[in-house]
Amino acid sequence: MTALHADDTGNGIEPRGEATRQRILDAAERLFSEHGINGVSLRTITAAAGANSAAANYHFGSKQGLVEAVFARHASGIATERRALLDDCRAAPGRPPLLEQIVAAFLEPSMRGQHGGTTFARLRARMIAESTDDTRRLYARYFDDSSGRFLTALREALPELPAHDLHWRFHIMLGTMVYTLANPGRIQILTDGACDPSDTDEALDYLVPMLAQIFRGEPVGSGVAALEPILKVGQILR
Amino acid sequence: MTALHADDTGNGIEPRGEATRQRILDAAERLFSEHGINGVSLRTITAAAGANSAAANYHFGSKQGLVEAVFARHASGIATERRALLDDCRAAPGRPPLLEQIVAAFLEPSMRGQHGGTTFARLRARMIAESTDDTRRLYARYFDDSSGRFLTALREALPELPAHDLHWRFHIMLGTMVYTLANPGRIQILTDGACDPSDTDEALDYLVPMLAQIFRGEPVGSGVAALEPILKVGQILR
DNA sequence: GACTCAATCAAACGCTTGTTTGAATATCCT
DNA sequence: AGGATATTCAAACAAGCGTTTGATTGAGTC
């Protein structure tokens, strides 16, 4: 009744409690993504996992420990696959790498079925929005490095785009991705099903070329200037 | 010690408990937006408001009642101002209405200082991500009508854009707005402060022309077709 | 078969939660 | 003044929370 769990040592045999551990992780991932982290109790999770109420604390130390374990289970996989796909882009025959390919390399690991699928995606979106200091640190630890790599790759692919524009468009890409992952259902009602962001395959098919087009668009500074004679943006309404 | 509060009847004098009511609303708005709805207790709120622990239940019936009151206080104002600004667009001299103007009419009421400012904006973003059935219904009740109006206005402004593209771009606009409102601080670190989405004025100056440019972009279907000889999107990586 | 030790279990810990209660207080009306 | 009413208050309620405890289990080792 003492120490925390030690990771699978790599040999074929697994620790005896591993099955329970996984069931708790699965239940926690599902319930956290459905009701938010503060919205689910450890008792609910362990009950759903068919385990004793004390099992979560035994295997993960605390609720926060369980949260981090749930997050780490897929986050590192996503970050790793992102890096690999980005390297593939750069090693491609026709360089510089195609913008679509970079965008796809960023989005696919999050939105395709592996790495927890839509359930884990929804949890990530929740964490970004809930965004306590704990979760923010957690998110940054796993994803800031990969985001940084993509920013430099994008800068190489778009050498003429001002940094200001690049960062804002990256921000748009992140926002779109998170919103797509977080929202299974609202938009379809509004649009009579003309687009379905909860179908992540359809979402990828649209978002990858669309975001590439956004990155390729001319810098917005000049766009504003061209518009100025007509109406100064930012003063339009006030 | 019985009935719930009745709204200000419009005459100069206000009910006696109105001051407390407002202090509770203010404290709740701030704390909800900082820690999420499930992350704050009524006791914390009433303490921050300098009121008795029972005051929240007295004035709003229940915690859910307080949540709805906090939301309603600014949501209806935002929706109303949106409608008014959209009508202004259509009454403008040079028709069809400028795309920038429509986008600004959609974003400004949420992102400018009135209607709760960044605090309430953050709360909205949280609610979208938390997205229980209750909050979803609440959000829809106040904003679906205005979103619908903007969709038809955009369709008029862009008659040649397929509905599918229009809806997806609207989705991108929503996601970008929510992400901008939800995230005070992460991107700046990543980008050395080259863009600051938490400064909502700077955000508006960039997002309005950028989103207009996005809406004006050519339909993505044809973009994919043009790309097909090189690489079929959606099969790029798998 | 005895020993070991990770894993499970029922039970309890102290604390916080949302909500209710009934008395005390403040304000207004006549 | 006095009575009516709206609001505040301290206190309590049952329920649920995260966590800890100490006994019990059961597979692996000697």
User: Which pLDDT tens digit goes with each residue over A207-228?
Assistant: 999 999 999 999 986 444 444 4
B6 pLDDT exceeds 60?
no
Q: What is the pLDDT of residue B186?
A: 57
pTM of the model: 0.85
* Alpha helices, H only, A36-94: 42-48, 55-60, 63-91
d(CA A222, CA A232): 13
d(CA B69, CA B159): 39
pLDDT tens digits for B162-183? 998 999 999 999 999 988 888 7
Q: What is the pLDDT of residue A225?
A: 42
CB within 8 Å of chain B, chain A residues 73-92: 85, 88
Distance in angstroms: CA A57, C1' D20: 10
Q: What is the pLDDT of residue B229?
A: 39
Which of B135, B137, B236, B238 has the highest number of chain A CBs within 10 A, making it the mutation to test binding with A? B236
d(CA B205, CA B202): 5
Contact A39 B204 (CB under 8 A): no
pLDDT tens digits for B82-91? 999 999 888 7
Distance in angstroms: CA A34, C1' D24: 36
Tokens 């590192």 — which residue?
A76
d(CA A49, CA B142): 38
Contact A130 B234 (CB under 8 A): no
CB A35 within 8 A of CB A77: no
B231 — pLDDT class (breaks 50, 70, 90): very low
Nearest of A39, A230, A174 to residue B132 by alpha carbon = A39
A3 pLDDT exceeds 50?
no
B195 pLDDT exceeds 80?
no
Closest nucleotide to B58: CA versus each C1': D7
A12 — pLDDT class (breaks 50, 70, 90): low
Which residues of chain A lie closer than 8 angstroms to B186, CB-CB? Answer: 136, 140
CB within 8 Å of chain B, chain A residues 148-187: 148, 151, 163-164, 167-172, 174-180, 182-183, 185-187
Q: Which of the two residues, B94 and B18, has the higher pLDDT score?
A: B18
Mean pLDDT of chain A: 82
A135 — pLDDT class (breaks 50, 70, 90): confident
Distance in angstroms: CA B19, C1' D6: 13
Contact B171 A148 (CB under 8 A): no
A and B: number of Cβ contacts within 8 A: 217
Q: Which of the two residues, A116 and B226, has the higher pLDDT score?
A: A116
* Alpha helices, H only, chain B: 18-35, 42-48, 55-60, 63-91, 99-111, 117-130, 133-157, 163-182, 186-190, 200-216, 220-227
A125 pLDDT exceeds 60?
yes
Tell me the CA distances in angstroms from B98 to A87, A172, B83, B92, B217, one per residue in order: 42, 22, 16, 9, 15
A188 pLDDT exceeds 50?
yes
B238 pLDDT exceeds 60?
no
Which residues of chain A lie closer than 8 angstroms to B227, CB-CB? Answer: 100, 209
